[in-house]
Amino acid sequence: MPIASNFTSTFEQQYEINFLHCYPNGFLKYTDLCNLLQITAGNHADLGGISFTDMQEHHQAWVMSRMRLEIEKLPQWRDSVTIKTWVKTLENSRSVRCMEMHLNGEKIVGCETYWAVINTKTRRPDILALPHDHFQKFQINATTKSTNKIEIDPNANVIGTRTVVLSDLDVVNHVNNVKYMEWCFDLENSKKLIKQEIASLDINFMRELNLNDIAAIHRTESDSFSIYSITKESKNAYALQITWK
């Protein structure tokens, strides 16, 4: 698609939180928070002519490599929130994009994401084939810390397994990144999630999982954090670090 006539280098989108987004206590699920942030990033890419559809003409797609969220509080059912996004860096096959969620004019979530371009035929990194100079880059931070590499304990205990099913997959034909988080949260203390005890989330994606793959879920924890890792045949595919308030 061509660059939209209303394209701007910063983008805002409003959402009303509905009951499907929420935990039983009426607050937004952490997984749906991530979905809303990524939908906003995708809509901005659409307007700027670097959407999934545009990139597929060159057999390319954006995949997320790292994500960091810093969470002050979560919105509730029927709240109207605004998500803002901008590109911090974009060159060759890599991009850093920032996002913020605001409620009644107050910033309640900051997010930094690190993306890579892959060739969807070779499944290897690729240099972005589409023009992107019209995206102004903003050296503005949405989080106090940047995305980082999570230190995974090779001796972490296995606490569960998952077999990849069709509902886990997205349009890039691999397990969607939010699904990994969902698998981990299903094994977490639900009371801590309901009470909004998460201060920040760090996420790393290292390897694809595909239909019928069997994954092992590992966990190490302390009073201040929990680290999950997901492996296939003993190779790390995903890591999640939860920092508790």
* Residue 192 sits in the same domain as residue 225: yes
Domain range for 82 is: 1-147
For 95-113, write each residue's pLDDT tens digit: 999 999 999 999 999 999 9
Q: What is the pTM of this model?
A: 0.93
* Residue 130 sits in the same domain as residue 189: no
The total domain count for the chain is 2
* Residue 100 sits in the same domain as residue 218: no
The pLDDT value recorded for residue 141 is 98
The pLDDT value recorded for residue 62 is 87
* Residue 143 sits in the same domain as residue 177: no
* Residue 112 sits in the same domain as residue 222: no
Domain C-terminal end among 147, 180, 211: 147
* Residue 143 sits in the same domain as residue 161: no
Q: Are 45 and 1 contacting, i.e. CB atoms less than 8 angstroms apart?
A: no
For 194-233, write each residue's pLDDT tens digit: 999 999 999 999 999 999 999 999 999 999 999 999 999 9
Q: Are 19 and 32 contacting, i.e. CB atoms less than 8 angstroms apart?
A: no
* Residue 223 sits in the same domain as residue 127: no
Domain C-terminal end among 147, 174, 208: 147
DSSP secondary structure letter of residue 3: P
Residue 40 C-beta-side C-alpha neighbours within 13 Å: 26
* Residue 19 sits in the same domain as residue 130: yes
Domain C-terminal end among 120, 147, 174: 147
* Residue 110 sits in the same domain as residue 222: no
Mean pLDDT of residues grouped by 10 in the chain (245 residues)? 91 98 98 97 95 92 93 98 97 94 98 94 92 94 97 95 97 92 97 97 96 98 96 97 97
Task: Sort 5 into a burial class: Cβ within 10 Å, 0-12 / 13-18 / 19+.
Answer: exposed
* Residue 101 sits in the same domain as residue 210: no
**How far is the C-alpha of 175 from the C-alpha of 242, rounded, in Å?**
20
* Residue 141 sits in the same domain as residue 172: no
Give the CATH number for residue 122: 3.10.129.10
* Residue 61 sits in the same domain as residue 26: yes
